[in-house]
């Protein structure tokens, strides 16, 4: 069973939370999503307030070490997601970044220009799901 780390903005903005939830549900058909909480609607009011920043950091690093694939929805800029991608790259993990072509801000060149990261510029959820299927086939 594959272990998948899904990254999406939490403190940087929750505008894409519904997209995260749908992508996480789709990913769960292919393995265990270690970070399924990223798609929870009430995440900040519940889980985020129950753990210290140190505990969140330690857990996320452990999950990044454990996972087979990192899928990051990067349409909403997030320092945390960028950091997670950097850690995943340093650990030699396979990384797929999903970027909605209709997002108001351009994707960071640090992601778009990194040949070690697969980036999917998607225009629909179905398109994003096809990108995920392609990444999973290459594991």
CATH number at residue 28: 3.40.50.450
Instruction: Identify the burial level of 54 via C-beta atoms within 10 angstroms of its C-beta, where 0-12 means exposed, 13-18 middle and 19 or more buried.
Output: exposed
Helix axis angle for 79-90 and 53-66, nearest 10°, is 40
Residue 107 DSSP one-character state: P
Give how many domains the chain has, as a whole number. 1
Quick one: average pLDDT of 23-36?
A: 96
Q: Given this model, what pLDDT does residue 68 score? A: 97
* Numbered residues of the known binding site for substrate: 20, 84, 108-110
Residue 74: band (very low, low, confident or very high) from pLDDT cuts 50, 70, 90:
very high
pTM (whole model) above 0.85: yes
Quick one: average pLDDT of 24-31?
A: 96
Q: What are 83-95's pLDDT values in tens digits? A: 999 999 999 999 9
How many C-alpha atoms does 127 have within 13 Å on its Cβ side? 11
**Domain span at 55:** 2-137
């Amino acid at each position: 069973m594959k272990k998948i780390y899904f990254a999406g903005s939490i403190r940087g903005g929750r505008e894409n939370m519904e997209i995260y939830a749908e992508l996480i549900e789709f990913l769960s058909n292919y393995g265990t999503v270690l970070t399924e909480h990223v798609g929870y609607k009430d995440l900040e009011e519940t889980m985020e307030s129950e753990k210290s920043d140190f505990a969140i950091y330690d857990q996320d690093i452990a999950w990044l070490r454990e996972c087979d694939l990192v899928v990051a929805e990067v349409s909403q800029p997030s320092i945390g997601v960028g950091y997670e991608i950097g850690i995943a790259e340093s650990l030699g993990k396979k990384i797929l970044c999903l970027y909605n072509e209709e997002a108001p801000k351009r994707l960071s060149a640090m992601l778009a220009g990194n040949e070690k990261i697969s980036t999917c510029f998607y225009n629909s959820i179905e398109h994003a799901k096809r990108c995920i299927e392609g990444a999973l086939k290459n594991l």
